[in-house]
Structure 1
Amino acid sequence: MNTQKMPLKNSLCLLLAATIWGIAFVAQSVGMEYVGPFTFNGVRSLIGSVILVPVILLLNRPKNADSRTSSGSAASQGTAPSPHKSRDLWLGGISCGIALFAASNFQQFGIKYTTVGKAGFITACYIVIVPIIGLFLKKKCSPFIWAAVAMALIGLYLLCITDGFSVGKGDLLVLVCAFLFSLHILIIDYFSPKADGVKMSCIQFFVCGILSMIPALIMEHPQISSILTAWLPILYAGIMSCGVAYTLQIVGQKNVNPTVASLILSLESCISVLAGWVILGQKLSAKELLGCVIMFAAIILAQLPEKQK
């Protein structure tokens, strides 16, 4: 079996997820003009969870008689829930929800203090962090990965370090979020073959939404009027970014090398820069653009296959 090959369906799912997330950086930035970060993430996650309920009901409709004869092919496409255990589903959904809660809120707070484009590219550091964490999980790293780490550090310096040799607060928060998203990717890699992807996605958003609303109610005291004012970015982030994109990630990442999957997902960084420029009019300096180019080169270098001996 060739593990390097990725089915076209998986590639398209991950690419579409990256596109939705890249544009979502704009929605996240605009939405916080009206509500706090915890409120934004709490409401969008709960919307994403609710949106997936009818999808789950639709996918679990009783099949016709001939479905029994084609159960083998259905399982290979990830639609047969029979081999899955409810323990793995709930454990995976709750674990993903906790990781997503931490990662998305660090990102949301970081976006308050930096531009959409910079936030997108720093978040993409997970492409280098994922294989590094893999070392501690007894997974070998190619020499290309270490070169990519060095390039990513140079790119981050050009992108984030200001004239006074200090990292902006927003940049640092988004960097922490990149590490947390790396953990999220590895958790999905572990649980996605063991559980129904759409159900696990629904559980993770419910967990993330509840965990986000607790500090939102304590610290931000959200008003219904403010939430309604930010209806457009919240609905985009809830329906598209949560309900659609994260489900596409879980489905698309199934039985796929997490490092290979993270390459496609990292394209959200390029899309976020374009979206910030086109929609919000945010521009990067020549130094920051050079940092973006070097970081993207590091992202590609990290994916080069090692020669077989």
Structure 2
Amino acid sequence: MQANLMLLLTAAIWGFAFVAQRVAMEHMGPFSFNGIRFLLGAVSLLPLIWFFSRKQSVAVTPAAKTSIWLAGGVAGTILFAAAALQQVGLLYTSAAKAGFITGLYMILVPFLGLFLRHVTGLNAWLGAGIALAGLYLLSINDDLSMSRGDMLMFIGAIFWSCHILWIDFIGRRVNALQLSAVQFLSCGVLSMLVAFWLETPSLSSVFAAWKAVLFASLISVGVAYTLQIVAQKKAKPTHAAIIMSMEAVFAAIGGVVFLSESLPLRGWIGCALMMTGMLLSQIPLPKLKRATH
């Protein structure tokens, strides 16, 4: 129950973070925002890492340090790709649509898991079909084209899926807080390198968007991503995926309430189908028993 509540809080924070991400880009570029966001997120974890390291009686070996830097570096690189696609995509689509399309990672995780020899049940195939129908209604235009923002969000969902699979694989082998800090640092550094190449980062733009920056960095990054890693150590994968899919609902609520966004009826039907598909893909179907004579 504790792990499930942590995941629900994570989903709420991530959902409302779409609002902060949209607001921040009124003052700064997407890579500048991600760079500041993830670097501050890494810094916010340092006091906790220092506090818990004082309680550890076992010395950290050089091999363990190498392991955490390698694991966090890989996680941070995947996170950089996912966050960059999401942030740039928000320039061209709404927070509500972004939340639901990003939520497709719940469908993609079991299918990408096939390459890792994970078992994918019939519920995942049914859920994927329903979710794709919803994506069609939500994002495909009358001329069968997809907007740039929605396409970037969909590609980003693939990287979010890879991130979840990597965290699931490595999260139980390393310290959760240290893994979070290293991945945020890696993602932040990569984002700032691209920002200085493509944009013009400035302190004035950061101060202009300080509320959105603080929420997206200290709360969405420092708190939520760490809650995800800690909770995934205790929660069942199926339960975790179902609860985290609520991120899309919170994103839609945030977009409507704080950004005055709206969707046509076709879009809301698409959202409902996508949510149904996401949930169905995570709920095992009952097994049919053979009749005995």
In the superposition, the TM-score normalised over structure 2's length comes to 0.93
Contact 1:81–1:196, Cα closer than 8 Å, also in 2? no
Alignment of 1:4-23 (within 5 A): 8-23=1-16
Alignment of 1:1-309 (within 5 A): 8-62=1-55, 85-254=64-233, 256-307=235-286
Query: Corresponding residue for 1:77?
Result: none
Contact 1:185–1:258, Cα closer than 8 Å, also in 2? no
Residue identity opposite 2:75 in structure 1: C
Query: Displacement, 1:259?
Result: 4.4
Identity of aligned residues (%): 43
Query: Displacement, 1:265?
Result: 1.2
Residue identity opposite 2:126 in structure 1: A
Distance in 1 (alpha carbons) for counterparts of 2:153 and 2:67: 30
Q: Which runs of 4+ in 1 moved over 6 A?
A: none
Query: Displacement, 1:88?
Result: 2.9
Contact 2:241–2:282, Cα closer than 8 Å, also in 1? no
Backbone CA RMSD of aligned residues: 1.9
Residue ranges of structure 2 left out of the alignment (5+ in a row): none
The DSSP-based 3-state class of the residue aligned with 1:107 is helix
Contact 1:119–1:171, Cα closer than 8 Å, also in 2? yes
* Matched residues, number: 287
Contact 1:158–1:287, Cα closer than 8 Å, also in 2? yes
In the superposition, the TM-score normalised over structure 1's length comes to 0.89
Contact 1:155–1:294, Cα closer than 8 Å, also in 2? yes
Distance in 2 (alpha carbons) for counterparts of 1:288 and 1:156: 9
Deviations 1:89-126 (A, max 9, x none): 22221111001100001000011100000000000000
Query: Displacement, 1:55?
Result: 1.1
